[in-house]
Amino acid sequence: MQEKVGNFLNIREKLLEIYASAYKSIKIYFRYPMWIISDIVTNPLWILMLLIPILLFLPPEEWSNSATYQYFYWGMVFWAIISSALWSFGMSIRSEQQLGTIEYLFLSNSSRVTLFTGRIATRLISLTTDLISMALGIYLIFNVMITIVNPLLLIFNLILSIFVSLGFGMIYGGIVLKLKNPRALNNILQFIIIGLGGVFVPIQVLPEPLRIIALVFPFSYCADLVRFAAMGSFTIIPLYEEIFLVILMAIILNFIGIKVLRRIEIDSKKTGKLGTY
């Protein structure tokens, strides 16, 4: 009986930690409304800047093909998810280093993952804003409505993708804790994953060398599942096998991420470089 009560209290403490971390991040996020306005204003500009050059290299008949805009839209959504993975953990750790508070945080007995998952809450708000503003931007600029074939499966696949990005972000956060300077690495990784990960186009249409590389990236399968739910496109492998694969990758990446973050934290404490940047 005492063991059950102890387990319940531990779970309650973890949930309260997550709540406190998320609440803090959300309060900070809404304290600066220009961040939100900036997201809403810049998304249509990104669409214009990126999509118009793409259309210029496509046959004119593709300009009126809604699938062209759908592929671009969901690619942009995954760009936001991948950016969240890199910036939520990487820049959160970097910010705490610069503020001089990371040593105090890591001296507490709170879960290291919990300390930084608060950023995920604000990224979810930002992702929702991106989904709406980009869909509205494509409709107003190109008169194309973003449609969804299976909304419930889409939500499930997006949640799976966020968990994959969370594990990836923890691994990256450990690297940031070690290297101290994430900005250049952020940009490099973003474009490598987006360019080689089958994010904007299905892996099936990539040339052979790129196709093999894309099969290595977890986000290729996440994007593939989202396109299937949103557009009804074909999956790389049978649907349920692909869902199982993404769930397995989410578990493995989160497990590795926790271990990497913990290992580098211990090493940084031993060398006295935890708070330096």
| Residue 188 lies inside a defined structural domain of this protein | yes
Residue of 249 and 114 predicted with greater confidence: 249
Instruction: Please give the residue that has the higher pLDDT: either 6 or 136.
Output: 136
The verdict on residue 236 lying in a domain is yes
CB 249 within 8 A of CB 218: yes
Answer whether residue 139 is part of any domain.
Answer: yes
Residue 121 CA to residue 30 CA, distance in Å, equals 12
Is 276 part of a structural domain of the chain?
no
CB-facing half-sphere around the CA of 64: CA atoms within 13 A: 2
Which among 90, 117, 129 is positioned nearest to 23, based on CA atoms? 117
**How many domains are there within the chain?**
1
What letters, b where the CB count within 10 A reaches 16 and e where it falls short, cover 187-209? eebbeebbebbbbbebbeebeee
The rounded distance, in Å, linking the Cα atoms of 31 and 11 is 30
Give the pLDDT of residue 252. Answer: 93
Domain residues for the domain of 73 are: 2-271
> Between these two residues, 146 and 50, which has the higher pLDDT value?
146
pLDDT in tens, 111-146: 666 666 666 777 778 778 888 888 888 888 888 888
Residue 193 domain-assigned (yes or no): yes
| Domain presence at residue 153 | yes
- Flag whether 277 is in a domain: no
Calpha distance 142→181 (Å, rounded): 39
Contact 268, 274 (CB under 8 A): yes
Q: Band of the pLDDT at 67, cuts 50, 70, 90?
A: confident
Residue 51: inside a domain = yes
Of the CA atoms within 13 Å of residue 133, those in its CB half-sphere come to: 20
State residue 7's pLDDT score: 54
